[in-house]
Amino acid sequence: MRIIFAICLVLTIMAPPFAKADLDASDRAELNKVIEDFIRNNPEVVRDTLIALAAREEAERKQTGLAKVRDDQGDPVMGNPNGSITLYEFSDYNCGYCKRVFEPIQQLLGDNPDVRLVIKEFPILSQSSLVAAKAAIAAEMQGKFGAYHVAMMTYRGQITEDVVMRLAAQAGVDEKQLKIDMESPKTASIIQRTREAAAALEINGTPGLVVGNTIVPGAIGLDELVKLITEERNKPG
C-alpha cells in the first residue's frame, strides 16, 4: 500500500500544471500537506520508489543498447557467419589492447565453429581510426574483410591512411570501389549505429565485448573468452 501511495505521490508531483489547476485553493493546500506529511514520515518509501525507477530506466537503456548491437547488418563478420553464438567486439585499429586480444579471439574462433564474430567498428582514437574503420566496412562489402582485418591487427607500425590503403590492396580489394564505399551513406550509418550502441551500453573504450546480455569492457584472455562462450552456450532455451 505504501509503495502504491509513493507511486501516486511521484505522479502527483510530476503532474503538469494544468492538471493541478483543476483543484481549488483549499484542495491544493490539503494535497500539499498530505504530500509533505508523507515525505516527512516515510522518506525511505520515496527513496525506494526512485531507486526502483532508476533501475528500470537503466534496464531499458541496456536493452536499447543491446538491440542496437544486434542490429548488425553490414557489420564485418568473421568465424562462422551462421554460428549459433555471436561475439560482438567494439574495436579500433589504433587500439593496442584490441591487437592484444586479437590472437585469443582468433584461437577462440578456430576452436569453436559455432561462434560468429561481429566487429563493431568503433573509431575513437584518431582520424586514422575512422579511415581504417570505413575501409573495414567497405572491405566487408567486397568479401575481403577477413584478410584486411588480419593485416591491420598484425601491423605494428603507425596507422596512416597510406597504410590502410596499402594493406587493403594486399587483402585483394578493388581500391577504386573501396574508396567509393568508404564514403557511402551506408558506411556512415553503420558507424553511427555502433556509436549509438556504445553510448547506450556505456562502452567508452576499446575493446568492448558483448556476448548475449553480458558486456565486458576491456581486453580479456582466452580462458575468460572460453568461459563467456561456454556460459552463453549452456543457457537454457
Whole-angstrom CA distances from 202 to 61, 65, 199 are 10, 9, 5
Residues forming CATH 3.40.30.10 domain(s) in the chain: 75-233
87 Cβ neighbours under 8 A, 6+ residues apart: 79, 105, 108, 115, 116, 117, 118, 209, 210, 211, 225, 228, 229
- Rounded to two decimals, what is the model's pTM? 0.77
pLDDT at site 63: 76
Q: What DSSP string runs through the chain? A: -HHHHHHHHHHHHTS-HHHHTTS-HHHHHHHHHHHHHHHHH-HHHHHHHHHHHHHHHHHHHHHHHHHHHH--TTS-EEE-TT-SEEEEEEE-TT-HHHHHHHHHHHHHHHH-TTEEEEEEE---S-HHHHHHHHHHHHHHHTT-HHHHHHHHHH--S---HHHHHHHHHHTT--HHHHHHHHTSHHHHHHHHHHHHHHHHHT--SS-EEEETTEEEES---HHHHHHHHHHHHTS--
pLDDT in tens, 192-235: 999 999 999 999 999 999 999 999 999 999 999 999 999 999 98
Mean per-residue pLDDT, 121-144: 98
Mean predicted lDDT score pLDDT of the chain: 87
pLDDT in tens, 45-82: 666 666 665 556 565 667 788 999 999 999 999 999 99
* Confidence tier at 18 by pLDDT (50, 70, 90): very low
* Confidence tier at 44 by pLDDT (50, 70, 90): confident
Q: What does the block give as the cell for 93?
A: 585499429
pLDDT at site 1: 47
Q: Which CATH number fits domain 75-233: 3.40.30.10, 3.40.50.970, 3.10.20.30, 3.40.605.10?
A: 3.40.30.10
Mean per-residue pLDDT, 28-40: 75
Pick from 60, 216, 73, 37: nearest CA to 9: 37
pLDDT in tens, 177-190: 999 999 999 999 99
Mean per-residue pLDDT, 24-34: 75
